[in-house]
Amino acid sequence: MTPQLEILRSPRPAEVAAERLARAIARVDAERGACRLAIPGGSALAVLPHVLEDLSKGTWSRVQLTWVDERCVPASDEGSNRGGYLRLGLPPPASALPLWADDDDDPARAVARFERAFAREFAGGLDVALLGLGEDGHVASLFPGHAALQATGAAVFVADSPKPPPRRMSLTLPVLQATPHAVMMAAGTGKRAALRRVIQREDGLPTTALASLVIATDIDSEGESDE
C-alpha cells in the first residue's frame, strides 16, 4: 500500500507534531468518548507535554495508552520507554498497558499477557500512534530487513535488535498498518538520510506499509525525493 504522506517542516517539530496528534486524539474522543493511543520513547517524548497543552480539559483522562515498543528492562532503567514517559510527570491517562511490565521475566509470557489485554481493553487496535524515526529507518522496534516485520498478532519479541539493547518488545506492523492516524517526529540532521528514504517510499521500510503518515520535521527539503 502506498502511504499518504504529509510533511510539515518547522524549527519546532515537537510543537507541530503535538498539534496534529492532539487534533487526531480530540476527533476520536469526540466520536468514541475515548482514544486508544500508542507512544514511543526517545526524543519523540518531547511531543507529549505540548499535546496536553493543546487538548481540551479532561480529554487526556479518557486516553487509553500503550507503547509502540519497549526495551525489556524495568521502568526504573533509563533505557525504558515507559520509564521515560513516567518521568515526564504528566497527568494519568484513563489506563496504561505496558508492553514490558516490571514483573515480566519471560518474553513469551509478556507477549501473551499483552495480547490478551490488548484484545480485551483496546479491542485489538489503535486510533492514533506517535512514532519516532531511527537513523536506519526503523520505527517502533521494527527494523528494515528484520524478521520481526513479518510477525502477526499484536506484539513481537525482538531478541536481536540491531540497535542495543538487543531484547525488545514491539507492536507488529499489522497493528501499525491498521492505525488510521500516525504522526511521526523526525528531528535533527542525523535523521536526514532516513527521512529521505521514508519520503521516497523505499521498499522494506515499515513506514512504506502505513496507510497514512504525517511527519513533523526540522530537516529541510534536501531530505525529499527528487521525483
Task: Parse the chain into domains and list their residue ranges.
Answer: 4-220
Q: Measured between alpha carbons, how far is 56 from 195 in angstroms, rounded to an integer? A: 32
Band of pLDDT at residue 225, cut at 50, 70 and 90: very low
Residue 215: the pLDDT is 97
pTM for the model: 0.94
3-state class (DSSP) for residue 157: strand
For the segment 121-135, the average pLDDT, to the nearest whole number, is 97
Cis peptide bond prior to 40, omega within 30° of 0: no
Phi, psi of 158 (to 5 degrees): -110, 110
Average confidence (pLDDT) over 188-214 = 94
- How many residues can be counted in the chain? 227
pLDDT the model gives residue 178: 96
The pLDDT > 90 percentage for the chain reads: 94
pLDDT one-digit tens code per residue, 153-162: 999 999 999 9
Neighbours of 120 (CB within 10 A): 10
Burial code of 146-170, b = ≥16 C-beta within 10 A, e = fewer?
bebbebebbbbbbeebeeeeebbbb
Whole-number Cα distances in Å, 46 to 18, 50, 90, 151: 9, 8, 12, 29
CATH number of 4-220: 3.40.50.1360
Q: What is the pLDDT of residue 123?
A: 98
The C-alpha cell at 25 is 486524539
SS3 at position 106: coil
In terms of DSSP H, where are the helices of the chain? 13-32, 47-54, 81-86, 107-121, 173-177, 192-199
